[in-house]
Chain A
Amino acid sequence: MIELRNVSFIYSDDGPFETKALNDISLKIEDNGFYGLIGHTGSGKTTLVQLIAGLVKPSSGEILIDGVNIAEKKFKMRDMPQRIGLVFQYPEYQLFEETVFDDVAFGPRNMGCDEAEVRRRVTEALQTVGIKEKYYKASPFELSGGQKRRVAIAGTISMEPPVLILDEPAAGLDPHGRESILQKITKLQKDRKITVILVSHSMEDIARTAEKVIVLNKGKLEMLGTTREVFAKGERLSEMGLSIPEISRVVLGLRERGINIREDVLTVDEAAEEILKLAAEKGLIK
């Protein structure tokens, strides 16, 4: 489990440009959960995931990973109780090896895995993201944008972290690429029973993947609840520069017009199901 206790992070501490990127955050992230992390630009999302991954230390507060406080000054990264995989935005810019295989093998090799284990991990990671074997010997730079993105994500998956954090993994991809990456992450989370934290500006993507949603606003924790609980607060989200999924707006519109439809609908599938129920009640269909 990951637990933050009163965590604050201040840029240019004490200087004239002091800014509180995170302000007194306390939250718990349970094992095997699929969390969405949303917030306006500059709300502190990236700082939060960097803190959890141990890349930066907070100005104050505790960050407990399985009970070990990684925020302590004397804490060393090699003592990290759980590996935390962080996939940055546009991770394809970090591809560097000569072949797809070697790029994905970089992590496991660094961890000291023998070549048989490296091969197993790389093969599994590339299968997970849907990269076919014929590309293993190709240069990562010859691939399409969507393929590069998937190889870069495989480079983190191959280290088999029990916690995987992805910062806008679908940004800039076409609808098919977006759908495909999200499906693969969802499947990985279920199959391997890992914890996933997905940072996204797409409310539609969060609605169909996350079980729980963390909402940051101006460096503070605004909400942490189930996806339905969070998206039920449309007005508050809108004030914070966020929104609810397009389909939820349709359902709210119907309710305003006196149609008695369940209010916490988040996806097209759910909306279709609810409308069909109403239509059946009215005898419009069998």
Chain B
Amino acid sequence: MIKAENVTFSYSDDLSVPVLDNVSITVADGSFVAVLGHNGSGKSTLAKHFNAILLPSGGKVYVFGQDTAKKNALLDVRKKVGMVFQNPDNQIVATVVEEDVAFGLENLGVPSDEMHERVGKALDAVQMSEFAKSAPHNLSGGQKQRVAIAGIIAMRPRCIVLDEPTAMLDPSGRREIMKTIKTLNKDMGITVVLITHYMDEAAQADRVIVMDSGKVCMDDCPKNIFTRREELLALGLDVPQVTELMHRLREKGLRVREDIIYTDECIEELVSLLEEKYD
């Protein structure tokens, strides 16, 4: 479990303009949480508190029971919570895929046999085993990002924080990453915190946190979040295209559900609406 208690943070000494303003949230083990918010709302800053890249100016962050501000907790916190960033090119260090995945393990002094096993399993988990001996620069964006994720998985973390991992990827790269994230969460039980600007990605999480001006302003399941369309638009955010479609239809007097957030359920709803009169 990750727990933020009254966390305040400012990049300067001036606490009158905090980037995080008294944030308290708990991320349950095994959950898949998406974090939304406009540029500058504080979402990346919050995420960086989850593995002690940043320490709170006020308040506490506990990662699986350990206070991140305690110096001797650092290594343990970093082992338990891994981070993946936007640009895969900035995260790859080695010239061969499997060596890149092994990098973190080498630093931890993991014995060679175990290292091989962990690297193999990590590449399996992201479906990149066939590229183990390839050079990273020959891979696509989505593949590189999966290698970066494998490097984190190999460390056997309990939680992965991904900060806009699909922002630079083409559509198939985005699909690959979302599929990978779900596998890690559902099959391996890894807690996932996904920061994103894509509403359709957030819709796939179990829970959505919306941030504004350094505060948590909404915290609910995706269906409940995306029915609050007006509030989201006012915050510089949006709803999935299918939710927007339902809204437009309701405005014109059609009786369709407003809590539609996935393509499949949108199709079902419209089919039942338009078929109705044939009976």
Q: Which residues of A contact B (CB under 8 A)?
A: 39-42, 144-146, 168, 171-179, 201, 203-204, 238, 241-243, 245-247, 249-250, 253-254, 257, 259, 268-269, 271-272, 275-276, 278-279, 282-286
Contacts and interface: CB of A to CB of B under 8 A. Distances in A.
A259 B271 contact: yes
B173 A41 contact: yes
State the 3 A-B residue pairs at the shortest beta-carbon distance, nearest first.
A176-B236, A241-B172, A175-B238
B53 to A, nearest CB: 19
A152 B276 CA distance: 53
Contacts of B266: 250
Given A168-B168, A253-B264, A269-B248, 14 more contacts: A41-B142, A173-B197, A175-B238, A203-B171, A241-B171, A241-B173, A246-B200, A247-B242, A250-B270, A275-B245, A279-B249, A282-B276, A282-B277, A284-B276
B48 to A, nearest CB: 16
Nearest to B164: A172
Given A41-B141, A259-B274, A276-B252, A171 B237 contact: no
B94 interface: no
B38 A177 contact: yes
B240 A279 contact: no
Given A171-B167, A242-B170, A257-B271, A271 B253 contact: no
Contacts of B175: 243
23 contacts: A144-B40, A172-B86, A173-B39, A174-B39, A174-B197, A174-B237, A175-B236, A175-B237, A175-B238, A178-B197, A179-B238, A201-B174, A238-B172, A241-B140, A241-B170, A241-B173, A246-B241, A259-B271, A268-B241, A275-B249, A276-B254, A279-B254, A285-B253
Nearest to A257: B271
A272 B267 contact: no
B237 A249 contact: no
Interface of B: 37-40, 86, 140-142, 164, 167-175, 197, 199-200, 233, 236-238, 240-242, 244-245, 248-249, 252-254, 263-264, 266-267, 270-271, 273-277
Contact of B245 (A144, A241, A271): A271
Nearest to B240: A246
Given A172-B86, A250-B266, A272-B252, A279 B241 contact: no
Contacts of B173: 40-41, 241
Given A173-B197, A174-B197, A253-B267, A279 B273 contact: yes
A145 B200 CA distance: 23
A176 B169 contact: no
A253 B276 CA distance: 17
B46 to A, nearest CB: 15
Contacts of A243: 171-172, 175
B238 A247 contact: no
Main secondary structure on B side of the interface with A: helix
A283 B267 CA distance: 20
A245 B241 contact: yes
Contact of A40 (B170, B264, B267): B170
Contacts, number: 133
A174 B38 contact: yes
Nearest to A40: B170
A175 B170 contact: no
B254 A41 contact: no
**Which among B170, B174, B266, B276 has the greatest number of chain A C-beta atoms within 10 A?**
B170
B170 A41 contact: yes
Contacts of B233: 176
Contacts of B254: 275-276, 279, 284-285
A250 B197 contact: no
B39 A272 contact: no
Contacts of B37: 174
Contacts of A246: 200, 240-242, 263
B140 A175 contact: no
Contacts of B200: 246
B245 A250 contact: yes
Contact of B197 (A172, A245, A278, A279): A172
Nearest to A38: B170
B167 A254 contact: no
A241 B139 CA distance: 13
Given A201-B170, A254-B267, A175 B197 contact: yes
Contacts of A41: 140-142, 169-170, 173
Contacts of A171: 167-168
Given A172-B164, A284-B277, A259 B242 contact: no
A177 B171 CA distance: 20
B252 A177 contact: no
Contacts of B267: 250, 253-254, 257
B270 A247 contact: no
A282 B38 contact: no
Residue with the highest number of chain B CB atoms closer than 10 Å, among A204, A246, A285:
A246
Nearest to A178: B197
A239 B38 CA distance: 33
